[in-house]
Amino acid sequence: MAIKDVIQSTVDSNDVVLFMKGTPNFPQCGFSGQVVQILSYLDVPYTPVNCLETDEIRQGIKEFSSWPTIPQLYVKGEFIGGCDIVREMFQSGELASHLAGKGIPVKQPAKA
């Protein structure tokens, strides 16, 4: 199976997928760590994929999304973006509402 097919299958069979460097418990880069913190804060269930495990997946995910950097967040098969986009969406409240709109359970942040 080609790496593109493996990635497509992972994205298709999981509601929320984070392609990251390292693992949620031990992120290998600050950007991956930030996205893990955001998803943890929102209490979103997700499937992590460690892109450092093989060169094939590390290169494959960049080609799959036409996005040059890792981490990459997918929701219901849709590419959301990397760390900067996820962080901006989180800060504006857009990420929580987008996830909720897709039927993903999220902890709603307290209103200030």
How far is residue 52 from each of residues 1, 5, 8, 95, measured CA to CA in Å?
A: 19, 18, 18, 26
108 belongs to a structural domain: no
Cα separation, 22 vs 52, in Å, equals 6
Considering only CA atoms, which of 108, 104, 107 is closest in space to residue 17?
A: 104
- Give Cβ neighbours of residue 100 (< 8 Å, ≥ 6 apart): 106, 108
Question: In the chain, helix, strand, coil percent, each to 5?
Answer: 45, 20, 35
Residue 97 lies in a domain: yes
pTM of the model: 0.94
Does some domain include residue 31?
Answer: yes
Q: Is residue 89 situated within a structural domain?
A: yes
Q: Give the structural domain span for 93.
A: 3-101
Residue 107 lies in a domain: no
Find the CATH number of the domain harbouring 42: 3.40.30.10
Distance CA 27, CA 49 (A): 11
Domain annotation covers residue 109? no
Sequence-distant (6+) residues with CB within 8 A of 90 are 38, 41, 42, 96
pLDDT at position 111 is 56
In total, how many domains does the chain have?
1
29 is in an annotated binding site: yes
Tens-place pLDDT, residues 5-28: 999 999 999 999 999 999 999 999
What does the pLDDT look like over 43-66, one tens digit per residue? 999 999 999 999 999 999 999 999
pLDDT of residue 1: 84
For the chain, the average pLDDT equals: 95
In a domain, residue 8? The reply is: yes
Quick one: pLDDT at residue 88?
98
Could you tell me what percent of the chain has a pLDDT over 70?
96
Alpha carbons 29 and 38: distance in angstroms, whole number: 15
Q: Is 84 a domain residue?
A: yes
